[in-house]
Amino acid sequence: MTTELQNEIIQLKEEKNAIILAHNYQPKEIQEIADFLGDSLELCMKAKEIDDKDIIVFCGVDFMAETAYMLNPDKKVLIPDIEAECPMAHMLTGEQVIEAKKKYPDAAVCLYVNSLGEAKAESDILCTSGNVKKVVESIEEDTILFGPDTNLGEFVQPFTDKKIIPIPGDGHCYVHKLFHKEDIDDARKKYPNAEIIIHPESNKEVQDMADYVLSTGGMLSHIRDSEKQEFVIGTEVDLITRLEAEFPDKTYYPLLEGAICKTMKLHTLEKLKDCLVNEEPLITVPEDIAERSISAVERMLDASK
């Protein structure tokens, strides 16, 4: 049953010919009325194919909405709370990428989509947790400057002969950094029949102890196809909201109840309604940054096919 506020948003969205895209970490009340839910890659692919809408409301963090804008510069891209930033993206500046390129002139630059526009503008190709293996495989150079997430770089290293050099070297997600070896040990004891699935933004030692290391979208498709009944979920807790809605016959345990991305939770139904009424806050990307970043976005989308 949708609430009055949810119904008002649905009506406004239709009146304004808008679409609501939301990341898998959004709170339940937003997930319930989103037109499309997904991981970073799925959201990016969806944003690329939107042609019949005037407004995109992006319930996620800054870098995701910026990518949607780069792919749709003629549309209004709104974000319910403009403060919704990914701290990891802010760990690598454009200047740092330029400096790394000077040091390794023959290397390719592959950046996680969780990065600033000014850093993307200096990159050759982007990647997400869902396509990082394919993207790295598509790169010709033998050395890859990879950032800002050091853990994602360590995740992909065993799958390639190329040398991955992390930039800035200590980039990380504070939410996934919360997981420790002891949490996996505890979960194995507590839920002996459950499969443990972890996100590649987690520390490598934790990744190595899990049964699977997957993006949030990867977790969804794995669980959909799995014969297992119980799963320990090593990522932000609201992925479980989506899993419970889509596959209610299975049981999910968070690896840590406290794995909450605070900025993802800044969006509320009230702010979502206000942003549709006022048609702001608007997300934009300076033209020169968008022009210099779009080929890295497109190259990533091509490599993901």
Contact string (CB under 6 A) for ligand 13P, positions 176-215, x = contact: -------------------------x-------------x
Which tokens go with 204? 């490598």
Segment contacting ligand 13P by CB under 6 A, of 72-80, 123-131, 151-159, 272-280: 123-131
Q: Which is nearer to ligand 13P, 2 or 221 (CB)?
A: 221
CB 12, CB 277: distance < 8 Å: yes
Give CA separation, 54 vs 19, 68, 230, 242, in Å.
8, 13, 42, 27
Question: Edge-to-edge, what's the strand order for the sheet holding 230-234?
Answer: 212-213, 195-198, 230-234, 251-254
Buried b (16+ CB within 10 A) or exposed e, 81-92: bbebebbbbbbb
Residue 37 interacting with ligand SF4 (CB under 6 A): no
Contact of residue 87 among ligand SF4, ligand 13P, none (CB under 5-8 Å per partner type): ligand SF4
CB 270, CB 264: distance < 8 Å: no
Q: Is 15 exposed, middle or buried (0-12, 13-18, 19+ CB in 10 A)?
A: exposed
Of residues 61, 77, 233, 300, which one binds ligand SF4 by CB under 6 A? 61
In the region spanning residues 245 to 304, those forming contacts with ligand 13P, defined by CB under 6 A, are none
Longest dimension (CA), the chain: 57
Contact of residue 215 among ligand 13P, ligand SF4, none (CB under 5-8 Å per partner type): ligand 13P
Residue 187 interacting with ligand SF4 (CB under 6 A): no
Which tokens go with 133? 């293996």
Residue 175 interacting with ligand SF4 (CB under 6 A): yes
Q: In whole angstroms, how close is the CB of 105 to ligand 13P at the nearest point?
A: 30
The annotation status of 40 as a binding-site residue, yes or no, is: yes
Q: Which is nearer to ligand SF4, 13 or 234 (CB)?
A: 234
Peptide bond into 281 cis (omega under 30): yes
Secondary element (H or E) of residue 56: strand 55-59
Which tokens go with 162? 């190329």
Of residues 68, 236, 271, 300, which one binds ligand SF4 by CB under 6 A? 236
Contact string (CB under 6 A) for ligand 13P, positions 130-149, x = contact: x-------------------
Q: In whole angstroms, how close is the CB of 179 to ligand SF4 at the nearest point?
A: 12
Contact of residue 138 among ligand SF4, ligand 13P, none (CB under 5-8 Å per partner type): none
Which tokens go with 55? 């407004």
- Tell me which residue has tokens 């102890």: 209
Residue 132 interacting with ligand SF4 (CB under 6 A): no
CB 153, CB 202: distance < 8 Å: no
Interface ranges with ligand SF4 (CB under 6 A) = 61, 86-88, 114, 173, 175, 201, 236, 261, 264
Residues of this chain that interact with ligand 13P (CB under 6 A) are 24, 39-40, 114, 128-130, 173, 201, 215-216
Binding residues for iminosuccinate, as ranges, are: 23, 40, 112-114, 129, 199-201, 216
